Structure 1
Amino acid sequence: MPYPVTLRQLHYFCVLAEELNFRRAAERLFISQPPLSRQIRILEDALGTPLFERCPAGPAYPVTLTEAGARLLPMALQQLQHMDTMLQHFSGAGSDAPSGHPAPGSPPAAAGRASNAHHASASNHPSGGKHAFANNPASTSNHASGDKRASGRQHTSGNNHAGGQRAMNRRAISDNAPRPVLLRLGLTPVIDAAQFAWIKPVLATRMPHVRLDVLRQGSTQLVRNLLHGRLDAAIIGTPAMTGDLQITPLHREPLMACLASSHPLARKRQLSLQAIAGEPVFWFERRRNPVYYDHCQHIFGRHQFNPHRLVEPADHHVLLGLVASGQGIALVPSSLRTTRRPGLAFRRLAEGDELAIDVVLASHAQGYNQHTGRILDSLQQLLRQQASGFQRVP
């Protein structure tokens, strides 16, 4: 039985949930608005509930997510991530060349057999070698002709030998060149990815043999993939359950209050948990990071902070879109304040340091091959330099 919901519909839904505007979402998807509207309607009919509230045309964000839409969003993003992971896993898979083919530069088998036959005939002559032809003109003529043919064969063999030598030289040079190395790096979407955008170009310049694959997932998922050998290292937010992984501290991200710029509280320069306690607040579900969730719950309890909570989308771009539309206030890492999105205001939070996220590089303490180990050592050094500000990383 075919599924009533398609990945295309989920993809369209996620883009619209981020843009909250049919026109901009359609432009991002390179389609016109009617097909987008039609697929969203089909998705809503399949699920039996509206996912968006349509607002009159004209405002900057003419649609908003319903409660059902907010619940669907993290699940839809997860399904799309699973599909991306599957495609990455099987992309580039190919079969090896069949065995039994001659090596490049090797002489043809027929030439080898002819040369062997000639030498065998000469060595088996009763008088032995060239003296057998000295008193026999016919033999001498045949020998001369044979010499020419042999010379031709030797010349051909020499060319083959030279070609084989050149191939061997090329292989030797190739063997001495750095082998291509795949570095699988995880990056949590909780923090602004722009602050780590320098990693790929810097590695490409300093270590061109390294191919970097970046996986964007929550910290808990990244740790799980790291422990199961599906990643080489991951930049995550802590507190988090990291097991016996090696942790390299990078920097600290205090939380800030993010709210619509039209909100009355946006007029204040600093807010507190008590100041926003009466507002709907986006907050993540415990399963996404139980350790950090419990850590924050302890702080919330100490400050008697218990607002009405909204389900926080896993993608911070979607979250910021919801905040800008006035649906609630979010507590976000301070790096997101550099986001250039209209309709947002970022304000310092009095308890921001208590709720801070420590950004770290998680990796295995041992078990890497020498190539990956050296690359990770260099990456750790670059990350420390960038975090400390001792050296500007281009």
Structure 2
Amino acid sequence: MLKGRRGGGAGQITRGYRFPMDLRRLEYFMVLAEELHFRRAAERLHISQPGLSQQIRVLEKDLGVSLFERSAQGVVLTDPGFVLLKEGAHLLQQAESVAAHVRAAGKGIAGILRVVHSRSLTGDVPDEIVRRFRMSNPRVEIIVETAWTTRNIAMLRAGEVDAAFVRMPLLEVGDLSQLTLGHTELAAAIPADLPLARKRILQTADLRGIPVVTFPREQAPGYFDHILSTVWGDEGPLISTTEPDPEHLLAAVAAGAGVCVFDVQRALKLRPKGVVVRRFTPSLSADFGLLWSPHRMSSLLESFIAEASLARPREP
């Protein structure tokens, strides 16, 4: 998240401080130090010889030392001149590096980007988006957090993150912008000793009347309502308990508290002993996407959104 910052810290410049050297004059010095001849150096720099001589004198005055010994045969470096020749090259390289970083930031390829994942979402697509963005923008520092969709939206509104991966549908987004990235398949995690576990493929009617383990609705209300309406319809589930995260949900299933419906890949990855995962026919799915505030746009965020849009499913 790119925030305005006041100057400060170890590199703070004391008020009234004047840097003793002009970078343009340093460049003039470097060319003269290579040529050791005012006329040739002036020709390379495309300035007049008197103008070059004047700029070198100003530089010497600023530093309080003589950089060259002048004679009818030309000029030679003094000891301070040799020091500046060595150190000046590093200084010019550093100055160019700073300029390049600033230009890169203006093009959206440098800075800090804060992204938050959804805890209920399989990480493959979001992780791939972040990975590709990192590869394309190596100067960007990406700080990734993980929370539930409701918390992600709150962090986005508060300006704590720049973009949020969320479960859809979203009941209310207000002035936030959203991009649907795809969908994940839903499956049922079932206690292995439940007779239902013997079925290889389920229909939604198979779960009617069986206790259900789920996450609290306030964590992702749109996603919660989507699962309940898709699987149980108007009848609704028999919720036996709620758990705060996928790990605890599956642990509750393993303990026989009930069945749970969520992301099939997440269920297969985290499945503990005593739990089987069964798909539905017809298959069930839930969308996911990216959310951001149009009022906090930056070229960096625009680049990230463009990268994320490449993950969207192609129209047939």
TM-score category, normalised to shorter length = 0.5 to 0.7
Larger C-alpha radius of gyration, 1 or 2?
A: 1
Give yes or no for the alignment of 1:235 onto 2:165. yes
TM-score by length of 1: 0.55
Residues 389 and 216 of structure 1, relative CA distance in 2, 3 Å threshold: farther
Whole-Å Cα distance in 2 between the matches of residues 173 and 328 of structure 1? 59
Residues 159 and 104 of structure 1, relative CA distance in 2, 3 Å threshold: farther
Question: Partner residue of 2:50?
Answer: none
Within a 5 Å distance, the mapping from 1:54-203 to structure 2 comes to 95-100=9-14, 112=61, 155-162=78-85, 163-164=87-88, 166-177=90-101, 178-179=104-105, 180-203=110-133
Question: Partner residue of 1:372?
Answer: 301
Kindly indicate which of the two structures has a greater share of residues assigned to helix.
1
Displacement of 1:166 after TM fit?
4.1
Displacement of 1:350 after TM fit?
5.2
Instruction: Count residues with an aligned counterpart.
Output: 258
Residues 370 and 147 of structure 1, relative CA distance in 2, 3 Å threshold: closer
Displacement of 1:312 after TM fit?
2.7
2:203–2:280 contact (8 Å) kept in structure 1? yes
Residues 112 and 273 of structure 1, relative CA distance in 2, 3 Å threshold: same
Within a 5 Å distance, the mapping from 1:238-387 to structure 2 comes to 238-240=168-170, 241-295=172-226, 302-313=233-244, 315-339=245-269, 341=271, 342-349=273-280, 353=284, 356-365=285-294, 367-381=296-310, 383-384=311-312, 387=313
In structure 1, the residue corresponding to 2:210 is in which secondary structure? coil
Whole-Å Cα distance in 1 between the matches of residues 20 and 133 of structure 2? 34
Question: Partner residue of 1:124?
Answer: none
Whole-Å Cα distance in 2 between the matches of residues 263 and 95 of structure 1? 62
Whole-Å Cα distance in 2 between the matches of residues 303 and 283 of structure 1? 17
Whole-Å Cα distance in 2 between the matches of residues 358 and 157 of structure 1? 67
Whole-Å Cα distance in 1 between the matches of residues 62 and 136 of structure 2? 51
TM-score by length of 2: 0.67
Two-structure CA RMSD over aligned residues (Å): 3.7
Structure 1 unpaired stretches of 5+ = 1-93, 119-145
Displacement of 1:98 after TM fit?
4.6
Whole-Å Cα distance in 1 between the matches of residues 185 and 63 of structure 2? 81
In structure 2, the residue corresponding to 1:255 is in which secondary structure? strand
Question: Partner residue of 2:45?
Answer: none
1:255–1:334 contact (8 Å) kept in structure 2? yes
Within a 5 Å distance, the mapping from 1:212-223 to structure 2 comes to 212-223=142-153
Residues 161 and 299 of structure 1, relative CA distance in 2, 3 Å threshold: closer
Residues 235 and 389 of structure 1, relative CA distance in 2, 3 Å threshold: farther
2:212–2:237 contact (8 Å) kept in structure 1? no
Whole-Å Cα distance in 1 between the matches of residues 269 and 139 of structure 2? 33
Displacement of 1:221 after TM fit?
1.1
In structure 2, the residue corresponding to 1:266 is in which secondary structure? helix
Q: Which moved more, 1:169-178 or 1:256-265?
A: 169-178
Q: What's the % identity of the aligned pairs?
A: 21
2:126–2:165 contact (8 Å) kept in structure 1? no
Residues 200 and 113 of structure 1, relative CA distance in 2, 3 Å threshold: closer
